């Protein structure tokens, strides 16, 4: 059995698959060459992240495929239902990267609240000549403790983010059209546990009450946050999108920053990824990362191990 991990896989995943008798190939094959490569090498399993697309034409052209695996949560780069109709197993790892994304959200939130995204740009350039000016410019930060965070999408990642928020002393509110409530259990270093029940509320209520907003929703046809939603928010809100590009109207975001509705924002994903708009890349009120929400060593190990376990279970 041959596995092509086209977007890479952790060594833990490679080892588990090889010990089960699979041949693992971590070559990155260009999208336009993928059909020929799969057929020439009689690939049984293809593993992808977000870079490689598995569409109907590839599925039809590659009869050897038995499993399509997505390392991560969202599978909008795979024609899932069509593949399953053709008898191909489609798997992913929805829980493996939840905490990694949650930590990135809070890295951005803490940075934005204390202007670290600007300070880290300005100090190397002007720290020696304008130290006092910079100190004054960035002396009006805010604390997260005691503030309200609104979470859009209360699945695994949204709930993981809520746990970090609770640990930071924040008031958590959430909106999810498919989830009415969630029981969250926080595990502490000494073995203690605390449980919290979060009831979801309306979209409008989350928009109006939140000091900070973070999105954890799948890709959709329409914007989740557009001009109308920005208008409902508190003045000076701080916003993070570590979900999918296109769930926030980026033009409306820039307008909302300009008129003071949004104080600052963070983007890990972009509408025109991997070529974000230059006005986003250069904007002083934005904290930016290149789609690295799940990119921790720990998450990648969990993803590789989970994919390997599923593949072995299906084919062995």
The pLDDT value recorded for residue 316 is 83
Q: Which of 244, 264, 283, 302 is catalytic?
A: 244
Give, rounded to a whole angstrom, the gap between the first and last alpha carbons of the chain. Answer: 10
The pLDDT value recorded for residue 95 is 86
* Segment 250-267 mean pLDDT: 98
Q: Which of 103, 255, 273, 277 is catalytic?
A: 273
Residues 73 and 104 both lie in one domain: no
As to burial, measured by CB atoms within 10 angstroms (0-12 exposed, 13-18 middle, 19+ buried), residue 149 is buried
Residue 54 — very low, low, confident or very high, per pLDDT cuts 50/70/90? very high
Give the number of other Cβ atoms within 10 Å of residue 254's Cβ.
18
What distance in Å separates the CA atoms of residue 289 and residue 294, rounded to the nearest whole number?
Answer: 12
Residues 87 and 127 both lie in one domain: no
Residues 175 and 269 both lie in one domain: yes
Residues 128 and 180 both lie in one domain: yes
Domain range for 88 is 2-93+297-315
Residues 249 and 121 both lie in one domain: yes
* Segment 60-69 mean pLDDT: 98
The pLDDT value recorded for residue 301 is 95
pTM for the model: 0.89
The pLDDT value recorded for residue 73 is 83
What lies within 8 Å, CB to CB, of 269 at 6+ separation is: 241, 242, 243, 244, 245, 291, 293
Question: What is the pLDDT of the chain when averaged over all its residues?
Answer: 96
Whether residue 244 lies in the annotated active site:
yes
Residues 153 and 80 both lie in one domain: no
CATH number of the structural domain spanning residue 306: 3.40.50.720
Residues 261 and 309 both lie in one domain: no
Residues 18 and 73 both lie in one domain: yes
The pLDDT value recorded for residue 40 is 97
* Segment 161-176 mean pLDDT: 98
Smallest Cα–Cα separation from 201: which of 161, 243, 151?
A: 151
Q: Domain count of the chain?
A: 2
Whether residue 283 lies in the annotated active site:
no
Q: Is the model's pLDDT at 94 over the cut of 90?
A: no
Residues 145 and 244 both lie in one domain: yes
Q: Which of 271, 291, 302, 306 is catalytic?
A: 291
Residues 9 and 46 both lie in one domain: yes
């Amino acid at each position: 059995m041959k596995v092509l991990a086209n977007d890479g896989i952790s060594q833990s995943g490679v080892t588990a698959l090889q010990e089960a008798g699979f041949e693992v190939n971590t070559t990155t094959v260009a999208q336009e060459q993928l059909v020929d490569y799969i057929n020439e090498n009689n690939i049984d399993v293809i593993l992808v992240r977000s870079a490689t697309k598995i569409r109907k034409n590839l599925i039809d052209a590659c009869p050897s495929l038995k499993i399509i695996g997505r390392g991560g949560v969202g599978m909008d780069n795979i024609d899932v239902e069509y593949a399953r109709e053709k008898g191909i197993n489609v798997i992913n790892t929805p829980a493996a990267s939840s905490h990694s994304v949650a930590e990135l959200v809070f890295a951005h939130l803490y940075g934005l609240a204390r202007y670290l995204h600007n300070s880290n740009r300005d100090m190397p350039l002007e720290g020696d000549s304008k130290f006092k000016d910079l100190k004054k410019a960035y002396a009006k930060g805010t604390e997260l403790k005691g503030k309200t965070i609104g979470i859009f999408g209360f699945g695994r990642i949204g709930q993981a983010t809520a746990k970090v928020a609770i640990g930071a002393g924040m008031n958590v509110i959430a909106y999810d059209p498919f989830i009415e409530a969630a029981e969250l259990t926080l595990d502490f270093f000494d073995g203690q546990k605390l449980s919290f029940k979060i009831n979801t509320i309306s979209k409008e209520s989350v928009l109006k009450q939140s000091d900070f907003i973070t999105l954890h929703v799948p890709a959709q046809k329409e914007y989740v946050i557009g001009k109308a939603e920005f208008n409902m928010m508190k003045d000076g809100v701080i916003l993070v999108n570590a979900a999918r590009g296109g769930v926030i109207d980026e033009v409306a975001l820039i307008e909302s920053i300009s008129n003071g509705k949004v104080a600052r924002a963070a983007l890990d994903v972009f509408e025109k990824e991997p070529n974000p708009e230059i006005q986003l890349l250069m904007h002083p009120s934005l904290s930016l990362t290149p789609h690295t929400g799940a990119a921790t060593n720990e998450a990648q190990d969990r993803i590789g191990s989970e994919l390997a376990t599923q593949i072995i279970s299906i084919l062995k």
